[in-house]
């Protein structure tokens, strides 16, 4: 868990094409603190106007991208999961596969490419002492604004078509796919239950059901769930109630997580976690950490998952994982051609 307090923030408003500088200040000694804040703001202005660009080594894949589980291994994992579904242990489970490759340089270019080829509701880049993350997540974990909670489960996937006609045909196929709809409906119910833990009585509602959300390489079935947060809970309680998202674990959630740990036998790391912010008013917006490139110890990792239900076809689930990872892999491959 990384929780960070930022007392100096540079905000770029994409719509108005303006930069906003924010410096938080203490209220203990207003005049003294105000003067300190003005100095900090002027320093930020000077940094933006006169600061030198940091030289970063452009990111580069140094070898072949290889999966953690090959097709045969992943299909066997799906078959074992289906056994547990038929035994009644679970209704649905989300199994993941990980692609990795040797990598040198920064993921900053990868982030820039993702903004172009896979624009998503949540775009993020983070560089720490020993890790680096670039991502383009399509899915909200949970959002809190003025006491109203929202979650937007995405489950059910088809690749994008090569043209509008093919794209529309795939949309119709997606919305008539009983397997995909069953998977989605279970996760909508799970989302309702998760919000119900921290919401006022009888406020949990499904605002939108079975919309199709399009992204660069795939389309998903999406729904919107809304509720009013209980007076005794806050943003952190909301995150705790939702994590891990049902769209990344399964149902029932606890049993699905136990089976994931057993079947995958590999730590997922940041994949499926939460990335976002909580502001000083208590509002919060977080996304699920998917469609991300994660760099550590000279390697880059890209993980993606597929929802498994009773009638899942193992080979199709393997391909779904590959399709979901493709936008990030493409960004990694293109990034080496771009100058920072």
- E strands, the chain, are 8-13, 18-23, 60-61, 66-67, 92-104, 122-127, 131-137, 140-145, 148-151, 154-159, 205-214, 218-228, 250-251, 274-278, 284-288, 292-296, 299-308
Q: In whole angstroms, what separates CA 313 from the centre of its chain?
A: 25
Place of tokens 């529309």: 168
**Which residues are catalytic, by number?**
220, 247, 271, 291, 307
Measure CA of the first residue to CA of the last residue in the chain; give whole Å.
Answer: 30
* Contacts with 169 (C-beta within 8 Å, 6 or more apart), sequence order: 161
Asked whether 167 and 155 are in contact (CB, 8 A), the reply is no
């Amino acid at each position: 868990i990384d929780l960070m307090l930022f007392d100096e923030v540079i905000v770029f408003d994409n719509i108005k094409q303006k930069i906003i500088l924010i410096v938080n200040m203490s209220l203990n000694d207003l005049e003294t603190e105000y003067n300190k804040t003005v100095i900090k703001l002027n320093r930020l202005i000077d940094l933006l106007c006169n600061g030198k660009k940091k030289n970063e080594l452009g990111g580069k894949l140094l070898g072949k991208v290889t999966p953690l589980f090959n097709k045969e291994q992943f299909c066997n994992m799906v078959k074992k999961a289906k056994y547990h579904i038929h035994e009644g242990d679970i209704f649905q489970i989300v199994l993941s596969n990980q692609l990795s490759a040797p990598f040198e340089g920064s993921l900053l270019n990868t982030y820039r490419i993702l903004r172009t080829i896979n624009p998503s509701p949540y775009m993020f880049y983070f560089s720490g002492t020993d890790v680096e993350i670039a991502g383009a997540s399509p899915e909200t974990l949970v959002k809190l604004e003025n006491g109203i909670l929202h979650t937007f489960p995405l489950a059910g996937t088809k690749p994008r078509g090569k043209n509008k006609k093919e794209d529309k045909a795939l949309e119709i196929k997606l919305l008539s796919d009983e397997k995909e709809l069953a998977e989605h409906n279970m996760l909508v119910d799970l989302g309702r239950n998760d919000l119900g833990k921290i919401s006022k009585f009888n406020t949990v509602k499904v605002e939108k059901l079975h919309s199709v959300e399009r992204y660069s390489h795939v389309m998903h079935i999406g729904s919107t769930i809304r509720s009013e947060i209980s007076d005794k809970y806050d943003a952190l309680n909301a995150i705790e109630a939702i994590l891990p998202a049902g769209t990344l674990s399964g149902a029932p959630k606890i049993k699905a997580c136990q089976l994931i740990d057993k079947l995958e036998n590999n730590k997922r790391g940041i994949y499926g976690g939460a990335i976002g912010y909580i502001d000083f008013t208590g509002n919060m917006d977080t996304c699920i950490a998917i469609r991300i490139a994660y760099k550590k110890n000279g390697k880059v990792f890209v993980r993606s998952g597929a929802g498994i239900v009773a009638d899942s076809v193992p080979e199709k689930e393997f391909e779904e994982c590959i399709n979901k990872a493709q936008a990030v892999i493409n960004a990694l491959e293109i990034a080496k051609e771009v100058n920072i």
